[in-house]
Amino acid sequence: MNQDARHAQFMERIERGEKIEATDWMPDEYRKLLLKLIHMHGVSEIMGAFPEKEWVPKAPTLKRKLAIMAKVQDEMGHGQLLLRVAEDLAAPLGKGREELLDDLLAGRVKFHNVFHMESPTWADAGVIGWLVDGAAIINQAALLDTSYAPYARVLKRICAEESFHMQHGENIILTLARGTKGQRQMLQEAVDRWWESLLFFFGPVEVTPAAQRMIDYRIRIKTNEELRQQFLNKYVPRIRSLGLTIPDPHLRYDEKQKKWLYTQPDWEKFGEIVRYNRGPKSEERIGLRRFAHEEQRWVREAMVRAHKMQAV
């Protein structure tokens, strides 16, 4: 069978709603688009552990300490699941776990804008769980119907855990919102800090050529803007019901257009942050990952040696 016929057959499978498995034939373009998406998703989970990790040693009660430890552990676990999926896709390209993580340190793979940002107070730890994970759930739930079966399977578990995270964050937030004046102020400042990043998180309004190809392959189904609108629908009323304000004087629901109108985030600024790792915390957090990946390489190498010695 020639390439064109193979490709046509593959597209028929996609259009019938069939799921693709790792061992199935797939066009290079499909593989590369998937790999780019899942690689970025995986390293974002791992980088996403760091903003909250800063608060693990400082969580203010024992219950919170246990909860945030478990939460950050989940993020690492999601990273592991996603990297396993990415490893299978990357294997024919001669890449494995080490290389996928090398790419992060070398700036060859991006991670979500939100994880480049500062989380200077305990309220930020709450807002990350509540709103950042809330946004992530919307993104990830929309991918549950993806045409790539291994991705869909890990997303199912990830979404279930993320909804716990959202509740964990919400619980921190509710306690602060009902707390002292100082706590409420801390919370408002955190919401102010995260709002613009959250809007950017869903990506540009226009459908880029790469995004269109992903939609063609049914890797993803919804557009960025649809997802952003879903987020606003769900969270604007919740944020306001706590007596918090959203730092956008132009934010309103337009009944005629049946959608939220909002001030555009600074696309250029965040675009640079993500592309060149130029956010306020990018370098520091990549430094932490470098510590884990490069400075601990001796451990992984020792384990390989020990395994070989055992096999002899």
Partner 1 sequence: MTMEQAAQMGLESGYRQALTALLYQLADDELCLGHRDSEWLGLAPDIEGDVAFSSIAQDEVGHAVFYLERLHELGEKDPDSLAFFRGAEAWRNAVLLEQPNGDWARTILRHFLYDLFDDVRTEALLHSSYEPLAQGVAKIRREEHYHLLHLKPWLIRLARAGGDAQERMEQAVMEVWAQLGGLFSLGAEEEEMIHHGLIAWGREELYRRWEDRAKPVFAEAGLKWPGPPSVPEQDGRRGRHTDHLTELIRTMSEVAVGDPAARW
Q: Give the binding site for partner 1 (CB under 8 A).
A: 46, 49-50, 53, 55-62, 64-66, 69-70, 72-73, 76-77, 79-80, 83, 122, 175, 178-180, 182-183, 288-289, 291-292, 296-303, 305-307, 309
- Of the candidates 26, 22, 79, 24, the residue with the CA atom closest to the CA atom of residue 49: 79
Give the closest residue to 129 by CA, choosing from 205, 57, 71.
71
Angle at 97 between CA 96 and CA 100, to 5 degrees: 85
Closest contact distance (angstroms) between CB of 110 and partner 1 is 19
Strand partners, 259: 254
**Cβ atoms of residues 257 and 68 within 8 Å:** no
* 8 Å CB contact between 251 and 66: no
Rounded to whole angstroms, the Cα distance separating 14 from 145 reads 12
Gap between the terminal Cα atoms of the chain = 45
The least CB distance from residue 235 to partner 1, in Å, is 23
C-beta of 73: minimal distance to partner 1 in Å?
Answer: 4
Nearer to partner 1, 267 or 291 (CB): 291
Residue number, 275 or 297, with CB nearest to partner 1: 297
- If the CB atoms of residues 65 and 259 are measured against partner 1, the closer one turns out to be 65
Compare residues 108 and 300 and give the one whose CB is closer to partner 1. 300
Place of tokens 């690689």: 39
Query: How many beta carbons lie within 10 A of that of residue 306, not counting itself?
Result: 10
Whether 104 and 43 have beta carbons less than 8 Å apart is answered as yes
Q: From the CB of 274, what's the least distance to partner 1, in Å?
A: 20
Question: Least distance (Å) from partner 1 to the CB of residue 72?
Answer: 5
- Nearer to partner 1 by Cβ, of 76 and 144: the residue is 76
DSSP for 49-75 reads HHHHHTTTTT-SSHHHHHHHHHHHHHH
CA distance 104 to 118: 19
Nearer to partner 1, 70 or 205 (CB): 70
Sign, CA torsion 134/35/148/21? negative
Rounded Cα–Cα distance for residues 312 and 307 (Å): 9
CB of 239 to partner 1, least distance (A): 21
**Residue 27 beta carbon to partner 1: minimum distance, rounded to whole angstroms:** 30
Q: Output 179 or 280, the one with its CB closest to partner 1.
A: 179
Q: Is 116:274 a contact under the CB 8 Å cutoff?
A: yes
Closest distance of CB 76 from partner 1, Å: 5
Nearer to partner 1, 28 or 301 (CB): 301
How far is it, in rounded angstroms, from Cα 213 to Cα 301? Answer: 40
